[in-house]
Each structure stands twice: as C-alpha cells, then as structure tokens.
Structure 1
Amino acid sequence: MPSEFTGKHVTVAGLGVSGVPAAKVLHGLGAHVTVVNDGDDERARAQAVELEALGVTVRLGDGDTLPEGTELIVTAPGWKPTKPLFTAAGQAGVPVWGDVELAWRLRGLDGRKPAPWLAVTGTNGKTTTVQMLASILKAAGLRTAAVGNIGVSLLDAVTGEQEYDVLAVELSSYQLHWAPSLRAHSAAVLNLAPDHLDWHGSMEAYAADKGRIYEGNQVACVYNVDATDKPSTEDLVRAADVEEGCRAIGFTLGTPGPSQLGVVEGLLVDRAFVEDRQKNAQELAEVSDVDPPAPHNIANALAAAGLARAFGVSAAAVRDGLRAFTPDAHRIAHVADVDGVAYVDDSKATNTHATEASLAAYESIVWIAGGLAKGATFDELVTGAAKRLRGAVLIGADRALIREALARHAPEVPVVDLDRTDTGAMLQAVQEARRLARPGDTVLLAPACASMDMFTNYNQRGDAFAQAVRELGA
C-alpha cells in the first residue's frame, strides 16, 4: 500500500538503537533509504551488512555529508544540531526528524486507531515515572507499554502487531528537540536542572526542548509545584500552546491546592480530577505504597498518578499500580543491613540533581561518591547535604572536585580519598564507609558522576557496590 514515503529519498543519520529500526521501517514503506554513520567499527559493519541485504545504502565513516537528492533526514536523537550534516540540510531546506517524530507520524498508518501518548520528561526520574505510569494503566485493565527512551521502541509500538489503548512514553531532551509535531494527550516535566548543556548550548535551550513536550497537549500539562529552578516546569506550561480546555495540573510533596495532587498525613491525594476540587480531595494511595518511599520517588508517583487520572483512571487503579511497581536496579535500592547500618545503591544518580534527591532521603549518611564529573560543580550539593553527612568516601577520576567542595562547605565531615580508579576500589570504599558509619546510619552510593572512568556503566558500578556489601555480611 503506497505511503507518503513511497519513492522518497530519506537519509537516516546514525546506526544503532534507533537508526537500524528506522531504516528498516522506511525501506518497508517504499522509501529510498541511505544510512550515514560516523563510525566504521565492527558493530557498524555488521549492521551495514544486514541493511544492505535489504537494499538499503549504507555509508560508514561519513556522517557529515548530505547525500545528494535527500528529501528528509531521520536522525538518531544524540546527534548534535550543530553537526555539518544538519547545517547542510538547513541550507537545502531538508527537514530533520528524530525517531520519535517518525513514530508519531506513522501512528494509524495501518488503519488502526492510534493509541494516545502520555509523555514524561525531566532531568531525573523519567524512567521510574513512566514505569509507574505503565503499572497504573495496566492495573486499570488498559493495554499499554512503557516505550520511548525505555523498554519497547516507539517505532515497534506504533508499527507492530500489538494493539495498545494508551502508551506511557519516556522522552529525552534530545528526542524532543527532533519531534516538532508531537502532540501528547497529556504530559509531565518532572524537574529541570543543568544537564547536556554541551549538546543544547545553554540552559535556556535545554529547558525549551524539554518544554516541547507540552505543545498541543489535549487534557493535562502536569508540572512540579515544588521546583525552584528557573525556568520552572510551571513556566514551561505557561509558555506552551495547548488545546482549548487543557489544564495545568501540579504535583507537590505538600498539601495540594485545587488542581493539584499532593501528600496529606501519609496519603497521596488528588484535588485535580474530583468534583468540586475547591472542597474535595480523593485518596489515591498511601505513601507506604510507593517503593521506595523517598521524597523524590513520591514525587514521581504523584506525576504518574496525575497523568493516569488525566486519562480517566480510577483511584483504586492508581493504588494497585503503585503497589505492583518494582523499581529497576541501582535506583535507591536497599542492598542489606549490616551491624545496624543500611547500605543503599543509587548508582543511577549520575548527576548532582539526582544525588541531591537521594541524599535528601536519609537523615545520617556515609556518602560514597565520585567518578566522571562531566563539567559539574558540587558546592551547592554539598552545602545542602552537609548536616546529613556522617562521612564521605571518594573514588574515581574527578573525586578531587567533591573533596574540595566538602572542604569548603562541610570541613567537619571526615573524608576518605581513595587514590585508585580500578574496579576493586569499590570494595575498599565500602570497607572504609563501614568504618565511618554508626548504627542507624545509611551508607549511600550516590556518585553524582558518570561511571566510565572505572566501570562499563552505572549498572556495573552498582553491582560492584552490592557485591562488596554482601562480602561485609559474609
């Protein structure tokens, strides 16, 4: 069956997680597809062989040159807007889409009714919130999946045989940058903190790309009432051009006002999707239904609940979905108690914003931190956490930056600086943390840094921490 892509010359920028499926889908729709890729390694060559067997042209080691005759570019989300390929496309009037934009435009192409999207972005907490949302939607009996920057690929979700009632969609700032026509049923921005500024160029540009998620929302723009960053998530809602009748719905860890969800006496409550919201509130769940019940995770649960309620989900399904949800590994995960001390793995806290939330969850902490700072500074983080710190154990290539911030803002906190970057350093770090800790304390791995100086990824770092803790208790 002919489509708008039949006979169209489309360049796919980048192989990998999004590029290969995009090339296959476009080829299947009758497009003339050329894939360009910066790298020319063994993996890229294997992918090229697979695509060339289908009739797709692949150019390895040349991701900057615009192929002659290109009418559309579909790019991997991580490719920077400043890349020469996109400069040439702009000069030639060639539109650039990301895989999210492609998926959005392919909805309903097979004649099925397109599933609405409930979309989530933010600097931290996106994956957990989308997984919570999917769990709630499933508890309501809806056919759904967690998709996008997580789980099932969006292209597979919109072109596969599985039919969905609604999709829970995680979107990164990169993906939103390249998705100009996306219009979600409802969307949430969880928080904003400086991140990926080398890609976006400025905090303002980063926030603007996050704010794209609200454009054209139909029912609800869910925002963080407690956010103090500027621009705030509420500022992004105010700037968005939404459909008539779309509402601004806040979530807060405090008592909610009308059109908000919040917390009252250990309960998650809704004053947004109830009759007479000036006077009434609906109990959704208990704080103890959220795993783990750390403040930032309760905020995630409220955001997920807000999106689900915007879709008409019952309060009982919100409760049941939260109870059924199990967080991914390495996200503020309790590993063990040893001699009255709790050991918690939050290796996923790879930036200062995530680590700030993690540190706020505990009263007395021996903090294991360090790795690749990615240009981050730590003064504000240390200032906010100083009163909670029993001690700190520092590892990794950029640990000196954290040590210096501790010296400036928490000089009374004992610091162990481990001058090693081998993977075995984690065992020593845990042993040193045990020496500093007292019964009732929490030894918290919340590195505030990336892991690649010592480990393959944050998963391996978290696994090393958990193994070291198990050796303590052996």
Structure 2
Amino acid sequence: MNWTDAHVTVAGLGVSGVPAARALRGLGARVTVVNDTDDERSRAQAAELAELGAEVRLGDGATLPGATTLVVTAPGWSPGKPLFRAAAEAGVPVWGDVELAWRLRSDGAAPWLAVTGTNGKTTTVRMLAAILSAAGLRTAAVGNIGVSVLDAVLAERDGRETYDVLAVELSSYQLHWAPSLRVHSAAVLNLAPDHLDWHGSMEAYAADKGRIYQGNEVACVYNAADPATEELVRAAEVTEGCRAIGFTLGAPAPSQLGVVDGILADRAFTADRQRSAQELAEVSDVDPPAPHNVANALAAAALARAFGVPPQAVREGLRAFRPEPHRIAKVAEIGGVAYVDDSKATNTHAAEASLTAYDPVVWIAGGLAKGAVFDELVTAAAGRLRGVVLMGADRALIREALARHAPDVPVTELDRTDTGAMAAAVREAAALARPGDTVLLAPACASMDMFVNYGARGEAFAGAVRELGAGRGGPGS
C-alpha cells in the first residue's frame, strides 16, 4: 500500500488505537481518529496524536469520515457498529491492529506462535515466552497480553529490536478483524460460551477463534479434551505438511503431548512417536500444578516444540515461569483454611477449571454475567461446595442455578456494592469454611459492576483476607 496516498480512519483510542494512529502517521498516512467517548483520558490521548498531525473526533464513533480508504479498528469495537456498516457500503476495508501489524512485517520478520481460547491465553503465552527464552531465543510475549503486537513489529521493522520468534496472544475480537493472518503454528486452548453479545452466536465466536489456524505452516495445536477445538483444525485451510497436534491430561497418543506418571510427555515431535515418548518436564515444574494449568503448559510446550525447541528448554522455561496475580493465587492460610484469588475467572469455563482444582470449596462468586448461564457450572461443582457467598449485579442468576442443582449447599447473598462488600464476603466465607477447606474467589463474572477491573477485585479480596488474618492474630502463611 502507498501509505502517503491513504486516508485511514482509526476507530477507538486506548491501548490499540493510539499505537495504530502513531504508526500510520509515521508511515505518512493521513489519519482521522474517531472515538465514542469524550473524557479526560481520551482528551489527553487526542492531544498526543494531534501533535503528530492526526485529526481526532471525540464523542462521535458512528460517522465514517469522507475520503476514507481504510478503517483500522480497536479490537473491542463490535461488527454491528454504524461506522462499519458505512464502511461496507462504501467498499472500504476494515482491519484490526493485528491485521495492520501482520501487513507491516518486513521481509525476514520473526515468525509468530499464536494462542487463543476462551481461557488460559495469557498464562500459556507467558509460559511459551519463558520456554523460548530458556532455549536462547530472542522473543517477546505480545498481543492481547497488554503489549501491542504492532509496537513489536514496528520495533523490528525499524531495527530497534531483533526477534527470533514472537509469542502472540490473540482474542476472538482481534481474530475477527485479521483476515490475512497466517502464522507459523497456533493453538486453540478451549472453547466455551463467552462474548456472545459481541459475536452474536456461539457459532460466530468459534469461527472467529478458528481463524487462528488458517494458513498455519507447521502445527495446529488443539485440546484433545475439547472436540470443538479439533473441529476447528479440521475446518482450516493450512499449508501443505502442517500437522494437527493434540494435548491431553491423560497418556498421549501419537501426535499428542500428555501426562504419564507425573511426567509431561511428547509423542508428537520425537523420532519414533508410534513407540516412544520424550520426557519434557514434571507436573511439579508447573506453577501452580492445577489441571487446567498443566494443560496450558502442554499447549505452550507443543508450540515451542513445533518451533524446534529442545526438551530441556521446556523444563527450564516452566520452572522459570511465575503466574501473574489473580490467577489461582494463594493469598494466605488462616486457621487451616486456604484463601485463593482467581479473580481472573471472569466466565463460567474459567470458574469451572478453578473449582475443579479444590475440594471442599467455599465459593465467592458473582458480578456481571455477560449473558452467561450457570446451570452446567453449578452442576459440575455441586459435589465440591461447602458453601457459596454471592455478590454483584447478576448474583441472582447463580443463586437460581444453585437452587436448581445444589439446593442443600448453604448460600449467603450480599445485597451491597460498596467498598466494604468484599470484606463482608470474605468474613461470610470464613464463617462457612472448616479446616482443610479452600475459600475461592472465582466469580464466573466480569467485575465492572463493582470494581474497575478484575485486578482491583482480586486486590480487594487479598486485602480482606489479610485483614481477616490480622484480626485472628496473624497474617496467615
């Protein structure tokens, strides 16, 4: 594309729109940024971009500026927005920031190892980056993980950074707007209903996730316990010779990675996968060794092995990896009761994985349901529940599911949204718990009804636990 002749409309500011607008101005394009909101943060970002020569229109994200030849959108903007309807009517293409990054890659740019899925993406990508680093490769974890893939591509293009390979987390939103993406190898970790209000249906959500496999060169990694991920592999058009590689928590079949007697074993990238397996690491090398996190480690290992990483680097990388806050993180043990923060469990699939790791559990749940239903989650968890404490805007949906499928489990419901609500929830959970139990914050809902984000919710939980420990004579351990 001749960027100096391009008039690009960037839809949305924030962590995607600002780098996109900055990059496009650097390429010489005429840039107009449109944004739905007009608040203090948006005005500060608009002032920064205006200094670079971009026009910014705050409070009007619906109108397509005249003479637009390309729209580059922030991933969260849904396809039904009037701006995109106007673009379609005018024959103007719409790219996401990932599509822009992909098209701006220079010759010889680092290949991408990409990860998507309903849950576990960030952990898996960070594990993958740790393994690649342990192999001596120059890499970075980028994408939906909070580090712009566009920034990484431009740094490489401009000679400011040199990478051997990039570990890339991609959301369903980003994949929707990335039609030409073709990566070295990719993994879909799992599929469960999420963001259906954005995609419109589970079928559309799955189809967008499946875009990550299109054109894969070496490996399409899927979850053997989740047939929907394998179906996405079957539907993908890939490069000749690309292989389907499964991962499982059981013993691996040929072309799979799995677990045998506490060992992470590879029967996919070995000389004789029909008769032998390669030891990669031990389950105890995974932090924490909860089942769903072991699955994340296997997916990361599969992608690394597809890139030619030796077995020892898998072990060293997993040992070096440390989980981010608010992901099944033990806060304290007080009176023989463990308190675990999994505030990142913002949907039912993530909450079920977390609940499966503990027994018995006093469960703290609730928030914004995002259109989710909770019957399957409650049915799966019912036998583990000592009690439940509910809070948040859509707590009634969980309460009703508990009444249908776990009527004997004690439920405490908090009808408050003030700053002391989490402390009250922790006190109520402590009253229900017995020594040997786990009090688990795994809300199965988004946090924005009561908190800025899931991180703030997790910090409130940790603070309440520490306060509880101090009140009982010590901070716990």
* Fold shared, TM-score > 0.5 on shorter chain: yes
* In structure 1, C-alpha distance between the alignment counterparts of 2:315 and 2:308, rounded to whole Å: 14
Q: Given the alignment, which residue of 411, 418, 429 partners 1:415? A: 411
Q: In the alignment, what sits opposite 1:191?
A: 190
Q: Secondary structure at the match of 1:143?
A: coil
Q: In the alignment, what sits opposite 1:269?
A: 265
Q: CA deviation at 1:152?
A: 2.4
Q: In the alignment, what sits opposite 1:103?
A: 101
Mapped pair 1:140 → 2:135: yes
* In structure 2, C-alpha distance between the alignment counterparts of 1:54 and 1:398, rounded to whole Å: 44
* In structure 2, C-alpha distance between the alignment counterparts of 1:326 and 1:125, rounded to whole Å: 14
Q: Which amino acid aligns with 1:155?
A: L
Give yes or no for contact 1:145–1:152 (8 Å, CA) kept in 2.
no
Q: Secondary structure at the match of 1:335?
A: strand
What is the CA deviation profile of residues 24-79 of structure 1, one whole-angstrom value per residue up to 9, with x for unaligned ones?
11111111111111222222222222212221122222211111111111111111
For structure 1, which runs of at least 5 residues remain unmatched after alignment? none
Q: CA deviation at 1:17?
A: 1.1
Q: Secondary structure at the match of 2:15?
A: coil
* In structure 2, C-alpha distance between the alignment counterparts of 1:42 and 1:35, rounded to whole Å: 16
Q: CA deviation at 1:6?
A: 2.1
What is the CA deviation profile of residues 255-288 of structure 1, one whole-angstrom value per residue up to 9, with x for unaligned ones?
1100000011111110000011010100111101
Mapped pair 1:466 → 2:465: no
* In structure 2, C-alpha distance between the alignment counterparts of 1:118 and 1:289, rounded to whole Å: 22
Mapped pair 1:40 → 2:38: yes
Q: In the alignment, what sits opposite 2:114?
A: 119
* In structure 2, C-alpha distance between the alignment counterparts of 1:443 and 1:159, rounded to whole Å: 45
Q: Which amino acid aligns with 1:139?
A: A
| Higher mean C-alpha deviation, range 62-71 or range 361-370 | 62-71
Mapped pair 1:130 → 2:128: no
How do 1:279-318 residues align onto structure 2 when only pairs under 5 Å count?
279-318=275-314
Q: Which amino acid aligns with 1:81?
A: P
How do 1:20-419 residues align onto structure 2 when only pairs under 5 Å count?
20-108=18-106, 113-160=108-155, 161-228=160-227, 232-419=228-415
Q: In the alignment, what sits opposite 1:440?
A: 436
Report the aligned-residue RMSD.
1.1
Fraction of identical pairs, as percent = 80
* In structure 1, C-alpha distance between the alignment counterparts of 2:43 and 2:462, rounded to whole Å: 37
Q: CA deviation at 1:171?
A: 0.3
Q: Which amino acid aligns with 1:141?
A: G
Give yes or no for contact 1:287–1:298 (8 Å, CA) kept in 2.
yes
* In structure 1, C-alpha distance between the alignment counterparts of 2:59 and 2:203, rounded to whole Å: 33
The normalised TM-score by structure 2 is: 0.96
For structure 2, which runs of at least 5 residues remain unmatched after alignment? 471-477
Mapped pair 1:11 → 2:9: yes
* In structure 2, C-alpha distance between the alignment counterparts of 1:462 and 1:65, rounded to whole Å: 38
What is the CA deviation profile of residues 95-140 of structure 1, one whole-angstrom value per residue up to 9, with x for unaligned ones?
11000000001111xx6x2000000000010000000000000000
Q: Which amino acid aligns with 1:433?
A: A
Aligned residues: 466
* In structure 1, C-alpha distance between the alignment counterparts of 2:236 and 2:269, rounded to whole Å: 21
The runs of 4+ residues in structure 1 deviating greater than 2 Å are none
Q: CA deviation at 1:7?
A: 2.1
* In structure 2, C-alpha distance between the alignment counterparts of 1:223 and 1:88, rounded to whole Å: 37
Q: Which amino acid aligns with 2:124?
A: T
What is the CA deviation profile of residues 284-309 of structure 1, one whole-angstrom value per residue up to 9, with x for unaligned ones?
11101101111110110000000000
Q: Secondary structure at the match of 1:18?
A: helix
Q: Which amino acid aligns with 1:453?
A: D
Q: CA deviation at 1:193?
A: 0.7
Q: Secondary structure at the match of 2:3?
A: coil
Give yes or no for contact 1:379–1:409 (8 Å, CA) kept in 2.
yes
* In structure 2, C-alpha distance between the alignment counterparts of 1:40 and 1:363, rounded to whole Å: 48
Q: Secondary structure at the match of 1:253?
A: coil
Q: Secondary structure at the match of 1:277?
A: coil
* In structure 1, C-alpha distance between the alignment counterparts of 2:125 and 2:217, rounded to whole Å: 19
